[in-house]
Structure 1
Amino acid sequence: MAFNSTLTSRAVLLYDEWIKEGDPRTENWLLMATPFPQTFIVSAYIYFVTFLGPRLMENRKPFDLKRPMVIYNFSIVAFSIYLIYEFLMSGWATGYTFRCDLVDYSSSPQALRMAWTCWLYYFSKFIEMLDTIFFVLRKKNSQVTFLHVFHHSIMPFTWWFGVRFAAGGLGTFHALLNCIVHVIMYTYYALSALGPAYQKYLWWKKYMTTIQLVQFVLVTVHIGQYFFLKDCPYQFPVFVYIIGSYGLIFLVLFLNFYYHAYTKGKRLPKVFQNGNYLHKKSE
């Protein structure tokens, strides 16, 4: 018992020392005080989409969520465009070099704008969990893949640390790219949700995965510059390794998805199969 008590006390002290290194500007923002509330949210999300949700829907008819999905997807597009603008105006188009860009911890209007934009991006990761919940409620369980759930689960965790310790600098480049990709991706989802009449406008479906692959290559190349720069005093180098690992892991996972989904034409839209222009029901 004494050993356990000592171990617990040591863990608490280490946590207290670690959290003190956080950015004081963001510590009182929603969900930022500790990582525990988001841990509960992410755990509940995983439990629902992998077990509880499918079990509740097992003997029920799929929900018709066409209108909510159209509104949701176009809302994400609008929000992503807003985030792109904010990331550009708070650094990436107003002084960042795309090389060794440090975190500005000052209380200047631009530094606070970047920190707030980072928090908005972080919070959007919880909103995007609705992607999977819609799959479950529509009984599209085949689309609740490991890649999908892993992506939606890991992003809030990594970005909590980003906002709490390094809200700005070179670690936000992948967020800017991700918002650009989301404009394209959620536009596709919105048009797809509108029904068969819009399928003829979705000929570019296959290229979405290619765009995502390009995204992860750019993320990996950009963050990889750090290891070749002679002098880059980035304040939290651990995030370089996290972002680099993120880029490489998702690059491999999406390459694997691309190979199995498209190499043999398994997921090509019917509009291209056999050279015929056929309609396909919204996925």
Structure 2
Amino acid sequence: MWKGVSVVFAIALVLANGEPVPRNQKNGEFSRYYLYNSNVTGVPLLQAGPAATDLKEDVPTVVLVHGHGGSYLTSLNLDVRRELLESEDVNVIVVDWSIFASMTYAQAQAAVLSVAQYLANALINNGVPPGSLHLVGFNLGAHIAGIAGRLIGGVARVTGLDPSQSPIKLSITDAAYVEVIHTDASGTVQSNGIGEKLGHADFYPNGGRTQPGCANNECHHNRAWLYFAASIRDKTFTANCCNTISEKDSNTCRLSTLPMGTNRLSKTPCLSGIYRVNTGNTYPF
């Protein structure tokens, strides 16, 4: 039987990856979790359990984690949750860590490890099976999703939607399959995302730096979750494998294909794990 992830273990695990530890290890206790499926709508889950009786068995569970400035009521959660519930038989758990996410970026970033640790505990205590678990995070939420997967162990999939700068990062070892979608990785002061390869498959729509139809970095950044939402029901983003980042940048990728996004728990990426797909400028792109 699983036991909760202790603070000491969480710190040791992060230190083993050479990552600094935030000072306040109790930030995550203020997070809230809401369960949605075909039977219930927004039922609060308790951090310490007992196991949630409303959790549907034998179906995948998708966890949505917002980023800096967000909450469980932001469009990311509302739109992705709707697409999932209307197209599949799933549990959707929406995380709200808005108390710290609403603070400065530095303060929110300092809360990442603790929020991830408490999320891991909540999923374990509520009896969510890791083998059918898909953790999805946007911005700093991408790193929270990854670290939670790392702490739980045996998680099927983690998806990072335009991960932002953080000393504690999503890693390829956080789940059996880790996918990352980069949309605002221009490297300028204004950019929100990071372009480095983090997962088994890293997708760079339109090169990963700017997105068609966008006039600012916030729009480029948000396209990551919009592409993900569209991929669930409305759109198949067939991406080509690239041998190198240079091929990705020059739009000359011609190797095997892989669909970007979706709720598939397992995919088999090419050797490089680098993918490019070109999109339209309006939903569903």
Q: Which range, TM-score by smaller chain?
A: under 0.3
Q: Which has the higher contact order (CA 8 A, sep 6+)?
A: 1
Q: Please, what TM-score do these two structures have when normalized by structure 2?
A: 0.25
Larger fraction in strand: 2
The structure carrying a bigger helix percent of its residues is: 1
Which protein is bigger by CA-based radius of gyration?
Answer: 1
With the length of structure 1 as denominator, give the TM-score of the two structures: 0.25
